[in-house]
Structure 1
Amino acid sequence: MEIKTVSIIGLGALGILYAHHLSKHMPKENLRIIADEERIKRYETEGIYCNGERCDFTYITPETPCDPADLILFTVKYDGLKEAVQSVKNHVGESTVMLSALNGITSEAVIGEVYGMDKVLYCVAQGMDAVKAGNQLTYENMGMLCFGDREPGAASGQVKRVAAFFNEVNVPHEIVPDMYRKLWSKFMLNVGVNQTVAVYQGHYGDIHREGPAREMMIAAMKEVMLLSEKEGIHLTEADINYWLDVLDTLSPEGKPSMAQDVDAKRHSEVELFAGTVLKLGKKHGITTPVNQELYEKIKSMEESY
């Protein structure tokens, strides 16, 4: 079944980026942004801007009856995921496919627990350098969505449907045969770069060059690599080097989402990153001192807001 309608929930950096792009490549009425009445009023009054252009979106409240979406894209923060899962219920039909662009390694299971894992594809967003300040989003690199089935093997019909749609609307993407491993790999990246740049209150440029920030980032990633062995994922130094190459393509003036949270004095996803690492370390009897240090520093910063 061809994908024609898309519903997006969450107008953070990724939500705006993909919603703005899709609005240029599909009929306006086929792209719906799910938000509560208060948010919709603010969006319509203040506007949402992407690279200086005001976005023209179709907004819909969670309570509004509507036809099911062919594709639902989750781009909320993790602490808003459970509410978002309930908010999309009117958009879920028999053939709906769901993608989560959230960080971490658990969002797919949260969505699947409510609607069934058969509707969920595993996904990570990578390579974008979007920066959101207020209602303004700017970016140079759109990055890509990497997605696939939970288990390794040939692509399912759902994966092929989504890929065909992304080809049609020019969304950069990659089908990954071993997607759960990729999810862990992206988690390893986020544990390193998101937290380190946040603690240094800097930009990607700080981890592009040799020095304490880059060393801390890599050390944090290596702790995830060790834990992955215990979890049967088996990440390696090659995975770290892959992400270092990806990071080198990003604008030195850009910054990851957690650093943007610190700038805006918002509470971050530290529990999703270092918090998860610390729990897994305790589970497997592995010390994770770098993530312990990152956790404590970020928590201390948040307590000062």
Structure 2
Amino acid sequence: MKTLILGAGAMGCLYGGLLKERGNDVILVDVSKPQVDEINKNGLALETAEGKRNIKIKAKFAQEVTEQPDLIILFTKTIHSKSALSSLKAIIGPETMVLSLQNGLGNDEVIKEFVPTDRIIIGTTNFPSDLLKPGNVRSLGKGTTKIMSCNGEVTEKLKQVEMMLSDAGFNCIITEDVFVSIWEKVAFNAACNALTAASRLKLGDVGKTDEGKELARSIAREVVSVANARNIHANAENVIKLIELDFVEHAEHMPSMMQDVLGNRTTEIDFINGAVVREAEKLGISVPVTNVLYKLVSMIQKNYENLIK
């Protein structure tokens, strides 16, 4: 299966690297010249629990891709999804599938502009991954990947994707209702990403404090209350257990939103906490802690040039 990883950041490189290591035909696609150049020159330096190694894998800019892929795995930020897919529009074929393993809500709606519903796969992943510098990625934890066809059908192609990802170590599961996992991940990220971004503290440092734990629990419960109101059977206690486990097991992890704030980049806050706030307003539900974190991170990213160092 010819696969393009669209968005070769920390997660894209982890998935692309391990898929390539298992002999799959994979190309990384990104807009970052330092990232593309480093991977092409020296390979992808990947560190996992199994050790450090260098993986030879092609990295390209979108305009350099000429072959029609069987599968595009979308790992860009949601804010960049439309422009990223537009850059590959010429090589998206009549059989090309698009799999979104992105954070946030509404990714499937963006993808529908490029491929029909029966070729969209939506999913979640909770593998940790950090981009240490161009071409260097570290992932020292395990996780699960859950996927579902956007139209709910379990096709042979969906099974092929499941097998390919599982063979590469991503513990892939086809689920009948991936929206439970998506909302639980949104709850997790609305707490962990936003709290670390606003505080500039690593995950473990947030979790060392009673205040951090209390805020994380409140956000998880607020987000899940919105999901439940939409008849999505997410479970707040499951999210809280995962958050508290990550406070310990991934204590040194710096979530992507925190890395974006540290790098003065636009975050995904509008598609995580912001999306929850907007959905809550439609339903008449109060989510005060989630809303405060949304406004706080939004305020920070609008004032990068004014931050006191």
TM class by shorter chain equals: 0.7 to 0.9
2:253 partner SS: coil
Greater CA deviation, 187-196 or 157-166?
157-166
Q: How does 1:235-246 map to 2 (within 5 A)?
A: 235-241=234-240, 243-244=242-243
Aligned to 2:29: 34
For residues 157-179 of structure 1, the C-alpha deviation after alignment (integer angstroms, 9 at most, x for no partner) is 33212112224434322222211
Aligned to 1:50: 46
Partner AA of 2:26 in structure 1: L
Q: What TM-score comes out, normalization by structure 2 length?
A: 0.85
2:104 partner SS: coil
Unaligned runs of 5+ in 1: none
Matches of 2:277 and 2:198 in 1, distance apart?
A: 17
Aligned to 1:22: 19
1:59 partner SS: strand
Aligned to 1:229: 228
User: 1:62 Cα shift?
Assistant: 2.7
Q: How many residues align structurally?
A: 298
User: 1:99 Cα shift?
Assistant: 1.0
- Flag the 1:36–1:220 CA change in 2: closer, same or farther, 3 A: closer
Aligned to 2:174: 175
Check conservation: 2:7, 2:74, Cα contact below 8 A. yes
Aligned to 2:187: 188
Matches of 1:13 and 1:48 in 2, distance apart?
A: 11
- Flag the 1:6–1:266 CA change in 2: closer, same or farther, 3 A: same
User: 1:37 Cα shift?
Assistant: 8.8
User: 1:194 Cα shift?
Assistant: 1.0
- Flag the 1:17–1:114 CA change in 2: closer, same or farther, 3 A: same
User: 1:218 Cα shift?
Assistant: 1.3
Q: How many percent identity over aligned positions?
A: 21
Matches of 1:79 and 1:53 in 2, distance apart?
A: 32
Aligned to 2:300: 301
Aligned to 2:139: 139
User: 1:124 Cα shift?
Assistant: 0.6
Q: How does 1:50-69 map to 2 (within 5 A)?
A: 50-51=46-47, 53-64=53-64, 66-69=66-69
Check conservation: 1:129, 1:250, Cα contact below 8 A. no
- Flag the 1:169–1:262 CA change in 2: closer, same or farther, 3 A: same
1:123 partner SS: strand
User: 1:111 Cα shift?
Assistant: 0.7
For residues 106-165 of structure 1, the C-alpha deviation after alignment (integer angstroms, 9 at most, x for no partner) is 112211222111111111111x2222233132221142321123466x733332121122
Q: CA RMSD in A?
A: 2.6
Matches of 1:25 and 1:89 in 2, distance apart?
A: 28
Matches of 1:110 and 1:210 in 2, distance apart?
A: 38
Partner AA of 1:5 in structure 2: K
Partner AA of 1:266 in structure 2: R
Q: What TM-score comes out, normalization by structure 1 length?
A: 0.86
Check conservation: 2:45, 2:137, Cα contact below 8 A. yes
- Flag the 1:251–1:36 CA change in 2: closer, same or farther, 3 A: closer
User: 1:8 Cα shift?
Assistant: 0.8
Matches of 2:32 and 2:139 in 1, distance apart?
A: 28
2:170 partner SS: coil
Is 1:5 the counterpart of 2:7? The answer is no
- Flag the 1:287–1:73 CA change in 2: closer, same or farther, 3 A: same
Matches of 1:96 and 1:249 in 2, distance apart?
A: 40
Q: How does 1:37-116 map to 2 (within 5 A)?
A: 38=33, 40-41=36-37, 43-44=39-40, 48-51=44-47, 53-64=53-64, 66-116=66-116
2:249 partner SS: coil
User: 1:94 Cα shift?
Assistant: 3.1
1:63 partner SS: helix
User: 1:10 Cα shift?
Assistant: 0.7
1:296 partner SS: helix
2:257 partner SS: helix
For residues 212-254 of structure 1, the C-alpha deviation after alignment (integer angstroms, 9 at most, x for no partner) is 1111111111111221233221323343345336535732111
Check conservation: 2:63, 2:88, Cα contact below 8 A. no
